[in-house]
Structure formats: structure tokens, C-alpha cells
Amino acid sequence: MNFNLDGPTYIGNTPSDFAITRITVNGEVYSTDCFAIDSDKGSITIANTSDLPVGLYSLSISCYSSGKYYEFKDILTINMMKSVPDGITVEPNKIEVEYGDIIDEESTEILPTAQVKTDGNHISIRKYIIANVRKDGALIENKDFFAISATGEISVVKGQTGIQPGKYVLDLKLTTAVVDEEAEEGIFANALEIDITSKPLSLVYTPNSVRTEVGTGNVSVSPEFIGSVDDLVYSIKSKSPSTAPISIDPTTGVLTLDANNSLAIDDKCEVTVTATNKFGTADFENVYTINIVAFIHPIDNFSYNNTEDFIQATAFEHSVAVIDGDEVSYSFVNLPEELSALTIDSHSGKITATKGNSIPVGSHTVTVLAKNSKNEKQASFKLNVAKNPYYFTYIHWGNNLNLAPAKAYASQHRVNSKAELLALSIPVAETDLPNDVKVIWEVATESFSGGSTQIDEHGTLTFTGGWIDAKCFVVVVSATTGKGTAGEITVKTPVFVDCSAAIKGITVSYTPFAFQVNPRTGGNSVAPVITGAADQSQFLMDYRRTFNFYNINGPASHLDGQPTVKTSFMYSIWAAYFNAIGSSSVNTGARAPLSYYDNIGKTSIPAAFVNNTDLSVVVNPDKWKDDAGFANGVMIGQMTYATNGNPSSIGGGEKIFPLAIWFDTKF
């Protein structure tokens, strides 16, 4: 496999003399020439990997900046996996999509898809995941532009306004099994190329208006361009005044005002640029303005004050104290990696960090470069971060299912009778709560009826009722420290309880019964253990009704409730399903959006379903979201089952709630 990684982003002066100083595999030093780095740009090439051992590779990189040597240990990790077996293809392996058809949700144009296929019957594919997406050769983090179904159909997600034209290449991670062998994961590199095409759509220079001293020249920044870059050429359509000696680089779009010009004070030069590519031409009127002034003041004074003590993990901002100079731009100088949560406004110099940032406690030196056409100056200040006495990140209530390590699973406890539920006491098992800090404990949400959950001053949960045969419940606990102070921290955590009981002699047990899944990538739960069924080959099960969603840390617009409530998050899931099948109405009483038997042959469409082969629950990728974002919460829905092998009997079968699905993009 061959793979290219773009050079790093950086803050401050341009680094150079990049070198790979160490390579490790699973923590052990390893020597290979399969990794190469461009000494000037820092881009990395991975080639000839067929003989590399499988494992987690870590690369340490060094560089020089402003004459100083820097080394970043284990800054890049690469999970080198086996290739998929021969005989797996994607057909077609290249598709072309018009940008306008993607971003317009109302478009009736059917977008092309591609299908993962196997050659013959000796290979089966159990799971499909989009592993990497590269745009025009650069790795991008957002994989949500594309989806792959449980049957291996790859599609472009309609309505993704954040997508941009360009060539996208997808790598797939497939779980495959060759006949008579164990299933294993493998990488299908460069599986599909998707060319998203468009004429020139946008051209922006930042800044788009500058001041230049009379008798001097000006060089613009490169513009930000949106559109296909195939055969892209820039040209000047018009300029005012027409005699201004302004030229454009046809490849980069950089505009240059010649220093030998006769422009006078208060003249204004406006430039209209034409961009032409393979798919069309567009004019961008007056996209860059040069204002001629008598004098650009050099930077004489520039400083920041040292900060007050900002509290750990809280939001803050810090502005320039003194600046004397015109047309100043600001940037960090050699910002330490531990301060990477800081951002700087290049025009105002204001430095900010968001709530929840990971900047360490202590006093940190921050250096900023102020620069204009005359000169540049640096200013340093102390960023002081005080320990937040209320800071914590997690609470866990353990499990009684022998699931280990406990923190890898949701907090979950199974009881087998009403008496066991009433006797159940669940103390906090593990937490990083600070000692001797007051904690305000609250039951934020519970699916038990009648306020049956109690929580004491130590966070111990007990129950006064709520038992229902064969039903699992969720309790969302809110823990707050530092209430009313700048350092206030609140963490919400779900705790699950399964009231396990036989229904007409049959028990369905998922272990774990709280299924943690990333809504972006989807996944499969464990298969349940069925006890009491006379003939398990005749046991059929499907989702049926009473689908409740409980928001934990998702967008505020993801309201709790069932699909019948039009403002609820679940209604949006139902609406997306019925839109996908071409229905003009939303049947909120239907099971279809979570049903296998209503989607035979098209199981990539429902948001989730009970797999008919082993009764595990399949959550399809990229379904549990709306315009506000991905789900972060819990869904519990009723399943029904039949024991006669007849699918038509399932809907009227016995009713159970054996599984809770907990969505979080961190899983």
C-alpha cells in the first residue's frame, strides 16, 4: 500500500529540516525505510508496506524553527493492518457526483453509489467501516460525507453542506472471514474514488481589503477557492483604475501590485478575478481592494499583559494590551503543543480558549509575532492557569455482570426479581472526583415510572419501585461540583438496570445489555442468550413499538420522547427513514425505521434492526443524527418475538425491552 500524509499545520514561523528520529511498532523500536519525510514540507510518504509487520506504528519527528531544534515524540500513529483477502472489489471503483446535487436536499437527482463485492462464495464480509478519507491527497477528519451500509453499499450523504468539490479517496476497514477460518479485520486501501465536481463557486482573499503606502507594492495572500481544481486557471477580468500595474499568478491566484506605480494617495484599486476550470467559469467582482495611503506606521510598541489566574478547563480570552502600527497581522511563535487549545485572531490578536480545554495547570509563556509591511515585533506574556478545585471527568457505578475492565462498559446492573430491585444499592465504584468537595447529585432523567430512583449524598443509587418484567431502564445521574463558581463542572452519566424475567418461560438476555455505539460509524451488539425456547431455530425477534430517546450530552434540540412527538429527536429519525424510502408522510406508529422484517433486502435504510441470524442489534452508520448533530443519549425500544418461525407472528408476539442503546461519538 502507498499512502501520503500532508505536512503538519503549525503556529508561528515556518519549520524546516524535518526528519524522522524514531519508529516503533507496538512500543518496540523498529527500523524500516517504508516511511519517508520531505525535509522541507514535513509531508510523509508510506510505501512498499507489504512486508511490514501488522501493528501500531509511532513516528517521532524533529524539525528546526527560527534556528531552534524541536522533537515531537510519537506525534504520529499509524495502525498497520492486514490487507483484505484477494477477491474483494468495489464496483464501480470511481464515481462522479455533481456538487449541487449533494448539497440540495430537495434535489430529486439520484446520487450514484458503489458496492463492495466478493469474488465467489469463499469470502464473507461481516462488517464494513470507512477507515480513511482523503481529499485531493490530504487526509480529512470528517468521514460523515460518505456512508457505508451493513451490506457494503457506499453512498454520498445528501444534504452535507460542509462538503467541498474535489477528489475523495476512501479506504475501507472490513471484517472478513474466509471459509473455515476465523474472522479478521483488514484494510482495503484506495477502495473507491469519488470525484465531486463543480464550476468555480467561491473565491475569497483574507484580508480582502488592504492599505499600502504610496510608492510601494503589495502582494496578496493566496485566495481560498471552492470548486473543482481540474484545469483551474486564474485571470484578472478588470481592475480600477485600469492602468494600475496589478498582475495575477494564473496558478496560485496571488495578486501583485508593482512597486513602480504612479498611484496617488487616496486612490483605491479594485480587482475582479475570473476563475476557470474544467466545468465552467465564474467572475468574482471586486474581490480584492488596495487602498493607497500616505504612510504605513511601523510597529513601535506591542505588548500583552500577563494574565490573571484563569481556572483550569474554563473558557477565557486575552487581548492585546498595546499596539502602535498599521495593517498588523498576528501569529503565535513556536506555541508549545500543550497549549494547542489556544487560538489567535490574526487581525485583532485576541487569544481565546473554549470551555473544557486541556491546557495544563501552571504558568506558561506565550509568544506572539506582530507583523506588517514595515517591520515585525514579538511580545511574550505569562498565561497563568490555576488548578480548578472542582475539576473531574467521570463517575462509574460498575456492573454485576462480571464485565471487565468495568470502565470499558456502561454502568449496568441486572436484577432477577422485584425484591432484588428494592434491595439493590449501587454505590459509586470509581471516579476522579476531588476529595472534600461538595457534590450536588441529581437524577436528571429516569425511565422508571413514578420517581422510583433515589440518590444519596455519596451518589449511591437505590430504588423504591418500578419493576416491570423483562424491561431494562436507564437513570441519568447529574453530578455538579463548584455550583455557582467560575469553575463549576457538571458531568452526566447513565446507569442501567435490567429487570430480567421470563415471559411465558422464555428469557432474552444481552450481556452487556447497555450497548455502547458510535452513531457516526454504527456497530453490532452482542448476540443474546435465549433460554426456555423449545426450538431456538424457530425463535424470531424484531423491534416493534414504544421507542424512547433520552438525551444526555447531545444538542439541546434533541428532545426526549417517542416518534409521535413531532419536536422529539426520534421523530427526526422516523422522518429521515420515510424520506429515504420516498414516502411523503411520516408514519410515527410504524416499526419500519427500526425493523429488519420491514426492510428485507434493504437493511442499509433503517436506523437499526435486530439481525435475523443471531439476534444481535445492528446500528447503521450515520443514521442517528439530524441537522444539529449526532445523538448523545440512550434509546430503549420494545421488541417482540415469536417461537413458531413465522415472521408474520412477530408483531403480535410477547413484549420485552431487553436492550438499551447508548450513543456517543467517543465510542
Domains present along the chain, CATH in parentheses: 3-80 (2.60.40.2710), 88-197 (2.60.40.2710), 202-293 (2.60.40.2710), 301-386 (2.60.40.10), 388-501 (2.60.40.2720), 502-667 (2.60.40.2730)
pLDDT at residue number 186: 78
Q: Is residue 456 within 8 Å of residue 417, measured between CB atoms?
A: no
Answer whether residue 628 shows pLDDT above 50. Answer: yes
- Express as a percent the part of the chain with pLDDT over 70: 95
Q: Is residue 421 within 8 Å of residue 448, measured between CB atoms?
A: no
* Cα distance between residue 289 and residue 432, in whole Å: 55
Answer whether residue 26 shows pLDDT above 90. Answer: no
Q: How confident is the model at residue 2 (pLDDT cuts 50, 70, 90)?
A: low
Answer whether residue 279 shows pLDDT above 70. Answer: yes
* Cα distance between residue 452 and residue 466, in whole Å: 6
Q: What is the mean pLDDT of the chain?
A: 90
Question: Could you tell me the three cell numbers for 236?
Answer: 484578472
pLDDT at residue number 14: 74
Backbone phi, psi, residue 125, to 5°: -110, 120
Q: What is the pLDDT of residues 157-179, one digit of tens each?
A: 888 878 999 999 998 888 776 64
Q: What is the pLDDT of residues 259-274, one digit of tens each?
A: 999 999 999 999 999 9
Span 52-60, mean pLDDT?
A: 82
DSSP 486-513: TT-EEEEEEEEEEE---BTTBEEE-SSS
- Express as a percent the part of the chain with pLDDT over 90: 68
pLDDT at residue number 328: 94
Q: Is residue 237 within 8 Å of residue 272, measured between CB atoms?
A: yes
Q: How confident is the model at residue 64 (pLDDT cuts 50, 70, 90)?
A: confident
Listed in sequence order, the DSSP H helices in 490-597 are: 569-580
Give the three-class secondary structure for 593: helix
Distance separating the N- and C-terminal Cα atoms of the chain: 28
- Cα 207 to its chain centre, rounded Å, is 29
Residue 162 amino acid letter? G
pLDDT at residue number 178: 60
Q: What is the pLDDT of residues 181-205, one digit of tens each?
A: 555 677 888 899 999 999 999 999 9
Give the three-class secondary structure for 351: strand
Span 553-557, mean pLDDT?
A: 90
Answer whether residue 48 shows pLDDT above 90. Answer: no
Q: How confident is the model at residue 71 (pLDDT cuts 50, 70, 90)?
A: confident
pLDDT at residue number 182: 52
Backbone phi, psi, residue 579, to 5°: -65, -40
Q: What is the pLDDT of residues 587-611, one digit of tens each?
A: 999 999 999 999 998 898 999 999 9
Q: Is residue 220 within 8 Å of residue 234, measured between CB atoms?
A: no
* Cα distance between residue 628 and residue 625, in whole Å: 7
264-269-275 Cα angle (round to 5): 155
Query: Rounded to two decimals, what is the model's pTM?
Result: 0.59
Q: How confident is the model at residue 150 (pLDDT cuts 50, 70, 90)?
A: confident
Answer whether residue 512 shows pLDDT above 60. Answer: yes
Q: Is residue 493 within 8 Å of residue 476, measured between CB atoms?
A: yes
* Cα distance between residue 579 and residue 587, in whole Å: 11
Span 476-483, mean pLDDT?
A: 95
Q: How confident is the model at residue 120 (pLDDT cuts 50, 70, 90)?
A: low
Omega before 519 within 30 of 0, i.e. cis: no
Q: What is the pLDDT of residues 230-248, one digit of tens each?
A: 999 999 999 999 999 999 9
Helix (H) or strand (E) holding 421: helix 418-423
Q: How confident is the model at residue 180 (pLDDT cuts 50, 70, 90)?
A: very low
Question: Could you tell me the three cell numbers for 254?
Answer: 496571488
Q: What is the pLDDT of residues 206-227, one digit of tens each?
A: 889 999 999 999 999 899 999 9
Closest CA to 470 of 281, 650, 330, 658: 658
Q: How confident is the model at residue 503 (pLDDT cuts 50, 70, 90)?
A: very high
Residue 456 amino acid letter? D
Cβ neighbours for 383, distance < 8 A, ≥ 6 positions apart = 307, 310, 318, 339, 342, 359, 363, 364, 365, 366
Q: What is the pLDDT of residues 352-394, one digit of tens each?
A: 998 888 899 999 999 999 999 899 999 999 999 999 999 999 9
Question: Could you tell me the three cell numbers for 382?
Answer: 505569562
